[in-house]
Structure 1
């Protein structure tokens, strides 16, 4: 030991507690202040801690607990003698270097705020952007499996039957095929009429479109029904169902897609919720309207009748629960827009009078079970 005062030696001779970081045994040791701190236990070789590596650790009042950056991270030295602790602290020039200064605290607060802002930006912008990019990339077999799962849920709500009158089915297929061809959708798309009094129509992933008898009953012309179906085809064309599933399902749904668990409970819940709660965004609804307008114009027909049908339904039954209002908001605005897009009829009728009567009677007395 060199350059050590008698006072320092006396202080260093007082016992203290040491944990070597390997075992949990409390070791009673003595300290010696030399060119480095020596921690000595009777009968064992001393341990040396370089003063510059000694750091203050969390401790209760009345106890100085120390760690050393150059030894085991679990090693601790506990000093209860205040004067001994002060003597050692005077030699440890970097004792509190790891503690947050005002600048360090400000930096922590700043990074925390930045992290919070980043999370908000991801939720508001990142997730929708990811959904927009990923929705068109979902393989069709997976999309069809999700649609099948959602169809089971929908038929549980609206009844398992589908309307099967032969003449009505032929008329419905003619109408759907004309819309599908103009819309540029392939022949994997399917459509059916469900025998329920609810006036609505909806699209499911995998190219599935359903028209509910309640809406067909209230329609006065094929053009009214065609505009509604064209709107739903717009949702299919734009992958709005898949976009909503990815956005609402988040990482859990994406993981399900990755590992093929797309017919399990999570996929069914999200798929059915996207239809039942009509979770299309305002932008998606506007885009689907634009698609319907363009489709009807391409057929030489006006989009206005479909908006008039929606207005009749919501005007009479808008407050009665599950109607077309739930999935097609702002009907008055839509009617105003469709009226502006009204053009003189230049194309042939979508259905003959006989075909229209057949379509109106597609459900007959009962649906196919």
Structure 2
């Protein structure tokens, strides 16, 4: 009874390809089944053996039949041990030994190259990350303001889908008065558009291009309009310093960055698609610190004490500690003790301004 070994391989019959399990008998007969009925048997003596592929470690056993060329491919190194155990002529044995040595050398070389490949891949991704990280601010600043307005308008429109906006003039006029005061002292030529959204969450944010969202939850939890002004001054600073655009550019990836550099309008379409994520983007510590500084500068120029913003931070932080629920505002704008202390320590304005608003009436209107 002959001993048989089994190997996995790919069988090519012309252009057709089949995954097979084949055996090599001690008499040099290669056999495998195709489906349930057809069985292929070919003598090793009538075949040609060679290494193929890249890096050349796959054994190809090929032969010609009446219906064309056939080939059986096997990548298992053990196939050579089986072939060398057969009773075959010396020339054939020498050829198989040579192929085995060549395969062994290439496999060994591949094992040594794997760490190099991994290092090159890692270097590529690290390089891409740093390129994206450090070039995003520069490239974001290259985006035309018309693009920024379109991105912000789309994000502003998408955010309001399915949400109820407040139209009561007592509320909208109060928010408009706050925005107009900030607009006078923010140093930017932007015409802000504001929507007050009926939502319990304590939040406010500004999209690129000057599109502002204020939630009723923010108004209800603010002790006075000056606190809301502080939050909005912070949010608008993010827009003025293009923090949102920088985050968006980083998320877009290298392809869009290249498109922006060369003025490819398709890059705008991709940025607009990503704009739906703008309301949930988090800012890093440097950006938050910079937005705090911008808010302090705007508030001081507008005659509003920065301590109103600090007081609001402290109030919401205490509520968070009591309930364990992180306010929406702090989920995307993490508050640290250092930030709170810096705002509290800011200089007071020389001339104090107070909004002529009945804040309790505004809350009741909500």
TM-score normalised by length of structure 2: 0.65
Q: 1:223 to 1:120 in 2, by over 3 A?
A: same
Q: Quote the residue 1:344 is aligned against.
A: 348
Q: Quote the residue 2:47 is aligned against.
A: 17
Distance 1:15 1:192 in 2: 84
Query: What's the offset of the Cα at 1:361?
Result: 4.5
Correspondent of 1:162 among 141, 150, 166? 166
Distance 2:275 2:351 in 1: 37
Q: Quote the residue 1:31 is aligned against.
A: none
1:326 matched to 2:331: yes
Larger RCO: Structure 1 or Structure 2 (Cα < 8 Å, ≥ 6 residues apart)?
Answer: 1
- Listed as ranges, the matches of 1:111-150 within 5 Å are 111-123=117-129, 125-150=130-155
Contiguous gaps of at least 5 residues in structure 2: 1-43, 53-60, 66-73
Correspondent of 1:271 among 271, 275, 288? 275
1:227 touches 1:305 (CA, 8 Å); kept in 2?
yes
1:1-34 alpha-carbon deviations (Å, 9 max, x no partner): xxxxxxxxxxxxx95424999xx98249xxxxxx
Distance 2:80 2:328 in 1: 71
Q: Quote the residue 1:33 is aligned against.
A: none
Query: What's the offset of the Cα at 1:129?
Result: 2.1
Q: 1:211 to 1:17 in 2, by over 3 A?
A: same
1:233 matched to 2:239: no
Q: Quote the residue 1:85 is aligned against.
A: 92
1:26 matched to 2:63: yes
Query: What's the offset of the Cα at 1:338?
Result: 1.0
1:106 matched to 2:143: no
Query: What's the offset of the Cα at 1:285?
Result: 1.4
Query: What's the offset of the Cα at 1:335?
Result: 2.1
Q: Quote the residue 2:178 is aligned against.
A: 175
Q: Give 3-state SS (helix, strand or coil) of 1:202's partner.
A: strand
1:313 touches 1:324 (CA, 8 Å); kept in 2?
no
Distance 1:304 1:345 in 2: 11
Q: 1:226 to 1:126 in 2, by over 3 A?
A: same
Query: What's the offset of the Cα at 1:120?
Result: 3.4
Distance 1:301 1:320 in 2: 29
Query: What's the offset of the Cα at 1:132?
Result: 2.0
1:195-232 alpha-carbon deviations (Å, 9 max, x no partner): 33332211113321122222223333343222111100
2:302 touches 2:353 (CA, 8 Å); kept in 1?
no
Q: Which is higher, the Rg of structure 1 or of structure 2? A: 1
1:63 touches 1:80 (CA, 8 Å); kept in 2?
no
Q: 1:278 to 1:308 in 2, by over 3 A?
A: farther
Greater share of residues in strand: 2
Distance 1:86 1:27 in 2: 22
Distance 2:119 2:161 in 1: 47
Q: Quote the residue 1:197 is aligned against.
A: 200
Q: Give 3-state SS (helix, strand or coil) of 1:203's partner.
A: strand
* Matched residue count: 296
Query: What's the offset of the Cα at 1:333?
Result: 3.2
2:316 touches 2:327 (CA, 8 Å); kept in 1?
no
Q: Give 3-state SS (helix, strand or coil) of 1:347's partner.
A: coil
2:238 touches 2:244 (CA, 8 Å); kept in 1?
yes
1:201 touches 1:229 (CA, 8 Å); kept in 2?
yes
Q: Quote the residue 1:296 is aligned against.
A: 299
2:168 touches 2:365 (CA, 8 Å); kept in 1?
no
Contiguous gaps of at least 5 residues in structure 1: 1-13, 29-56, 65-78
- Listed as ranges, the matches of 1:234-273 within 5 Å are 234-250=237-253, 260=266, 267=272, 270-273=274-277
Q: Give 3-state SS (helix, strand or coil) of 2:206's partner.
A: strand
Q: Give 3-state SS (helix, strand or coil) of 1:142's partner.
A: helix
Distance 2:305 2:123 in 1: 47
